[in-house]
Amino acid sequence: MATSEFDDPAFLTRLRAGDQGAYRALIRRFHASLVRVAAAVIGSQAQAEEVVQDTWLAVYTNIGRFEGRSSLSTWLFSIATNRARTRIGREGRTVGLPAILDGGPPGERAVPTSAFEPNGHWAEAPRLWDEISPERIVGGRQLWDLVQEAIERLPAGQKAVIVLRDMEDRSAEDACEILGISPENQRVLLHRARGRIRAEIDRATDPKAAAIAVRAVPRTARGGSSMMRVFARWIGLWSPQGLGVPA
């Protein structure tokens, strides 16, 4: 099901009636993403799994009170991040959520200033720009796995924002609401995260990196159209327009 289909009144009616098929569909679609975001907040995969199990229990218990003021998926992510924050508080870790979601050193750039000419254009064009395409990238199982691993290594804030914005296709407003961060912080976190992922793709597609081969697989493998959307977005960063001109 597409994310928007979960907001269909008929689907919400099924949830409120306790329809197990509806809950299974919801869990299949969002469980892994909720764990990823919760893990970014709490810093532990095992604890994130526990937080998300609590989240599903809360959803089942409180779905009757869901008024639809936000999308169902935004409500799910908000419950998960709030419960992750509560879990941190119970353990005596008093750092606030915005601090937990710090994106890294204040001076960090997604791409070094030296990569640009004074006019904002690339000093050296990204490798394989002429030969590579979203279609070929999506065909790379190894490259997709490498990028997934790179996302897991991102700092907490960058990981949470890129999962929400690029993997879940949430709006900037949704990401700010779910994570409790400012629009400016969200923008910086996303810019840095995308820059790091772009660098991973650049390294992996270097002709010298023979160990990372882009092998053709069916478009339906591992997410199909959603993978193409995500990779196309990151490939689009391979330009001054996508990454932004250095200040």
Secondary structure (H, E, C), 81-143: HHHHHHHHHHCCCCCCHHHHCCCCCCCCCCCCHHHECCCCCECCCCCCCCCCCHHHHHCCHHH
pLDDT of residue 22: 96
pLDDT of residue 100: 52
pLDDT of residue 90: 74
pLDDT of residue 93: 52
- Say whether domain 3-90 belongs to CATH 1.10.1740.10: yes
Percentage of the chain with pLDDT > 90? 35
> Which stretch, 3-7, 91-95, 163-167, 238-242, has highest mean pLDDT?
163-167
Distance CA 146, CA 197 (A): 10
Intervals of CATH 1.10.1740.10 along the chain? 3-90
Is the per-residue pLDDT at 125 higher than 80?
Answer: no
* Mean pLDDT confidence for 158-171: 89
pLDDT of residue 40: 86
Mean pLDDT for all residues in the chain: 75
Query: Under CATH, which number does the domain 113-243 receive?
Result: 1.10.10.10
Pairwise pLDDT comparison (6 vs 195), residue with the higher score: 6
Intervals of CATH 1.10.10.10 along the chain? 113-243
Distance CA 186, CA 181 (A): 7
C-beta neighbour count of 116 within 10 angstroms: 18
What count of residues does the chain have? 247
pLDDT of residue 54: 96
* Mean pLDDT confidence for 77-82: 94
Structure tokens at 215: 């092998």
